[in-house]
Amino acid sequence: MKLHKTRSAFTLVELLVVIAIIGILVGLLLPAVQAAREAARRMQCSNNLKQLGLALHNYHDTFKTFPPALLGSGRYNNASYHASNGGIKNTTGWALLLPFFEQSAIADQYDYNVCSSSSSPYGGVVAGDDTINDGLYNIPLDVLACPSDPSSGLVVSTSAGSTSMYSRREAIRTSYVFSVGSFTDYSGPWRSYSGDIRQGVFGNDGAANFAAMTDGTSTTIAIGEATGGAFKTSADYGPWGMTGTHTCCHGYLPGGSTTEVSTTYAAAYTQNYSINGAYNNDALGRTYAWVFSSKHPGGANFVFADGSVHLLTETMNYLTLQQLGYIHDGLPVPSDY
């Protein structure tokens, strides 16, 4: 009887076919895996903002107002003001919120009577020594870092110990900024703009309480994402967490006048200050840490003043975004934003 040999291995053709099939399957599955990972990162970012929204409410319960975005900014050129308020501090709202998002251990070590950075471009007197809190500035805090943001957590120092414009000891970048409406650190204290409809929830040395948000807390942005390239807006500007310079933590939505949300210059504003606008394009000369943006496809996460979290799209009407950023413009917000 003639015996047939039993084949014990793949032929080269069969092996190539198997490899090709595996390659096709990987190609089909990889986008789904990446999408699932991004969905998980976006959910974590949303949870961060929920926690920050809860911290804002707990702060308000204690102090009957929200915290300032920045306290004692050296960029505000008013010597008598700083003298009457204990000197320049450059303390961020994140530092003030520490006890309210489960970071009491850091808050207990933090000396709020001294400056967080010595940045004083106009020569004002800084409060104390910025080395007193050194070591706390660069403690990583997950709640301030969106996992989709490759720049969050980077530690950068600029002209440490000097009084230059952006002087700052080693500090960690954050992924979030406070909504300040149409006013930034260049605009002076928050309360001096209380009669302007373009006022946001936060500002320098002051912030709104619930009663001031006459447009309603459910249609008012409190905190949003801000990111960019390898150094976000630049190596100097931020956004920063525990130690601040004047550009460190403001989410800016300019436009209009003291009495109206205007369409004047709408095209330029839409290009530069809408979500993921041109000022966050690495190819352009980018400005400050003021543009709401993210690494999530199509938009960015925000927590509103009522504590709800929303993903706002980068294609939304800029005027609607302005309305969401202002606390008492008196205009109805479109329901389909």
Share the mean pLDDT of the chain.
80
Report which listed range, 163-167, 183-187, 314-318, is most confident. 314-318
297 CB-near residues (< 8 Å, 6+ apart): 38
211 pLDDT higher than 80: yes
Count of CB atoms within 10 A of residue 79's CB?
12
Beta bridge partners of 312: 300
Nearest C-alpha neighbor of 217 from the set 204, 201, 205: 201
Q: pLDDT tens for residues 24-69? A: 877 777 776 667 788 888 899 999 999 999 999 999 999 999 999 9
Distance (Å, whole) CA 169 – CA 161: 7
Identity of the amino acid at 282: D
Give the DSSP H or E segment for 302: strand 299-304
Q: Is residue 335 part of a domain?
A: no
Q: Is residue 333 part of a domain?
A: no
pLDDT of residue 7: 58
Residue 222 lies in a domain: yes
Q: Total structural domains in the chain?
A: 1
Q: How confident is the model at residue 150 (pLDDT cuts 50, 70, 90)?
A: confident
Measured CA to CA, the distance from residue 209 to residue 247 in angstroms comes to 23
* Domain assignment of residue 34, given as a range: 13-325
Burial 23-57 (b: 16+ CB within 10 A, else e): eeeeeeeeeeeeeeeeeebbeebbebbbbbbebbb
Query: Do 226 and 237 contact (CB within 8 A), yes or no?
Result: no
| Residue 2 counted as domain residue | no
336 within domain boundaries: no
State the Cα–Cα distance between residues 260 and 329, nearest whole angstrom.
Answer: 7
Share of the chain above pLDDT 70, in %: 75
CB 171 within 8 A of CB 157: yes
Position 90 pLDDT exceeds 90: no
Residue at 292 is within a domain: yes
Give the pLDDT confidence of 263-284 residue by residue, as tens digits. Answer: 555 566 666 777 877 665 555 4
Residue 6 forms part of a structural domain: no
Given a contact cutoff of 8 angstroms between Cβ atoms, the answer to whether 92 and 244 are in contact is yes
What's the rounded Cα separation, in Å, for the pair 157 and 160?
Answer: 6
In this structure, the strands spanning 309-313 and 299-304 are antiparallel
Three-class DSSP category at 53: helix
- Lowest-pLDDT choice from 3-12, 28-37, 182-191: 3-12
